[in-house]
Structure 1
Amino acid sequence: MTANTHEPMRTQDYGFFGPGSPSWKIWTAPTSLIGFQRAVVLEHFDPFLAAAVADMRGIYSNPARRLDRTLAYFLTIAVADSRTATEASRLLMRVHSQVTGVEPISGKRYSANNPDSQLWIHITGWHSVLKAYEMYGPGPLPADEERRYWEECAIAANLQTCNPADVPRSRQGVRDYFEAVRPRLCTSERAHEGMHYLLRTPAANAGIAFWAISRMLAPATIATLPKWMRVLGGFDQTALIDGIAPPLIRVVTTFGQWPVLKVAALRLSAPRTARIMGEHHRGDQPRNTHTVPPVNVREQREHLEPVTASAG
């Protein structure tokens, strides 16, 4: 969700990361679409998020619009100026504050702004786009860029309800986080419904373009996931498909690196995201050509309106 669809998204400053940052490079790469599909599928392994998605039904009634808003939010945080990114965070948390209910299996209450659930969304998102970039794009980042990427991931977490102290700051830290949360991950009928719907979205509600894109990306997305998740989620595929997907997708992403083709492709299924991507590649300079220090991220976050962040 972006703050305003009519104002330029980068007029005040270069935001929290700026030109040359790994966040700009990875979140604007064509492989980010695969990473995004991976992330929204993974979210469903959190039972409280799965319950929230199932109760809201947003991805079923209008999947293209709902997912476009979510991807646009991630991209806004990565490349927009500090005012636009902070406002996008405020609006998203206001929407999430209304998303509460009861997770039917455990009987516990959920909140979309719960810090643990928000941390799961944040880490799976940033990890997934990096994973896709490594598998289907230029490959692993140099060590210094990877360190910076995880530092930037931690900075961005300040715009959500996550506890900054809980955010991993290295690849090993992310691995440790995934091991720590694995015991609470599970699936259910509603989680399966969401995962499979996001991997291969029907054309009836999403349109032909989104239907085609989701199916084209699905084999590549599944190939990035560990075997136990694929089996648990009921969407495993053969080793042959795993082997075929990477070279085919690399050809597509090679052409997708051209900004004009990338923006044109996004317009077919994610117009809000396409607008942000187009503005980013246009390269307009903001009034102040500097980035906002991490301490200012926290200060801006503290001035956001209070939101509900109760425990699950």
Structure 2
Amino acid sequence: MTDLGLFGPDSVTWRVHSEPIITVGGLRSLYLQALHPRAVAGVEQNSRYRKDPWGRFQRTAEYVTTVVYGTTEQAERAGRRVRAVHSRMTATDPRTGERFRVDEPELLRWVHVTEVESFLDSALRGGLRLEPEEIDGYYREQTRAAALVGLDPATVPDTAAAVEAYYERMRPELALTVDSAATGLFLTLPPLPFGLGLTPVRGAAFSVSALAIGMLPAWARKLYGLPGLPGTDRLASVNARVLGSLLRTIPIEWIESPARKEAMRRLTEAGRTGNA
């Protein structure tokens, strides 16, 4: 039997993650994650992302694509590595001085929910059509990814309604701290490699950041102190649809990850086709 991984070609997950625009969703999730004071403190006090932002981005992308497209063993091995790294990390809450572990379920759950909700939001705005039951199916499938980082799947929101309720429940705990403001600024104007910061690439990168910010929930933009213009959501959706259409014109062979390419090879060996 060919191992098609945690999800496989008939999953909603493969449909969502076949949309190139989910990269913007990944950036959106980082803006959201930074609004949790403990989550952002854990990153600021343990990560070297400021010194190597693009390396960090690549490693995160490789982890996500391995979980989505890798074999079951590859996904589980990637999860074990993440759990091992997190188990050694602690941080200090800047508001209370309390020392905490970065693998606390509350923090892992916040990162997971903001990530998968952002991937889905960007794919839908980019033009992917899913029925409500398929949207819920994506969230249910992603509880398998949540288990890899150490979460009990039963504690993870697994429908669109549950995710919305989770955000409502979390909002009183969110705030714009010094760390979150600094992280938001860094995400908006990151250093570009190879001297590209002095080229038009800077403008393109800023446009992507602006789109990710525009796609944030209104309450998140408000926490960042951004003006609550009534047309922001509509404009972000229009821009995402245009970008999604443009990205779909790029031959998949130019941009597909090694994990996806290998998954397609396994599919061919198994005589299968899929929605990826």
Q: Secondary structure of 2:91's partner?
A: strand
Q: Is the 8 A contact 1:114 1:161 kept in 2?
A: no
> Would you say 1:92 and 2:82 are equivalent positions?
yes
Out of 233, 253, 257, the residue aligned to residue 244 of structure 2 is 253
Q: What is the CA distance between 1:287 and its match in structure 2?
A: 7.3
Distance across 1 between alignment mates of 2:204 and 2:253 = 14
Partner of 2:189: 200
Distance across 1 between alignment mates of 2:160 and 2:3 = 29
Partner of 2:111: 121
Q: Secondary structure of 2:148's partner?
A: coil
Alignment of 1:135-174 (within 5 A): 135-139=125-129, 141-174=130-163
Q: What is the CA distance between 1:258 and its match in structure 2?
A: 4.7
Partner of 1:234: 225
> Would you say 1:101 and 2:91 are equivalent positions?
yes
> Would you say 1:222 and 2:205 are equivalent positions?
no
> Would you say 1:61 and 2:51 are equivalent positions?
yes
Q: Is the 8 A contact 2:91 2:102 kept in 1?
A: no
Q: 1:47 to 1:82 in 2, by over 3 A?
A: same
- 1:29-56 C-alpha deviation (Å, 9 max, x unpaired): 1121111001111111111111122113
- The alignment yields a C-alpha RMSD, in angstroms, of 2.8
Q: Is the 8 A contact 1:12 1:81 kept in 2?
A: no
- 1:256-294 C-alpha deviation (Å, 9 max, x unpaired): 22563x56458xxxxxxx3334444x443387789xxxx
> Would you say 1:285 and 2:246 are equivalent positions?
no
Residue type matched to 2:82 in 1? L
Residue type matched to 2:214 in 1? A
Residue type matched to 2:267 in 1? Q
Distance across 1 between alignment mates of 2:159 and 2:22 = 20
Distance across 2 between alignment mates of 1:289 and 1:40 = 38
* Number of equivalenced pairs: 270
Q: Is the 8 A contact 1:14 1:288 kept in 2?
A: no
Out of 43, 48, 51, the residue aligned to residue 38 of structure 2 is 48
Q: 1:211 to 1:12 in 2, by over 3 A?
A: farther
- Structure 2: any 5+ residue segments left out of the alignment? none
Distance across 1 between alignment mates of 2:150 and 2:11 = 24
Distance across 2 between alignment mates of 1:170 and 1:241 = 26
> Would you say 1:275 and 2:258 are equivalent positions?
yes
Q: 1:183 to 1:22 in 2, by over 3 A?
A: same
- Structure 1: any 5+ residue segments left out of the alignment? 1-10, 267-273, 291-312
Q: Is the 8 A contact 1:198 1:214 kept in 2?
A: no
Q: Percent of aligned positions with the same letter in both sequences?
A: 25
Q: Secondary structure of 1:37's partner?
A: helix
Q: Is the 8 A contact 1:28 1:75 kept in 2?
A: no
Q: TM-score, normalised by structure 1?
A: 0.76
Q: Is the 8 A contact 2:67 2:75 kept in 1?
A: yes
Q: Secondary structure of 1:158's partner?
A: helix
Deviating more after overlay: 212-221 vs 13-22: 212-221
Out of 154, 157, 178, the residue aligned to residue 189 of structure 1 is 178
Q: What is the CA distance between 1:129 and its match in structure 2?
A: 0.8
Distance across 2 between alignment mates of 1:165 and 1:185 = 23
Q: 1:36 to 1:26 in 2, by over 3 A?
A: same
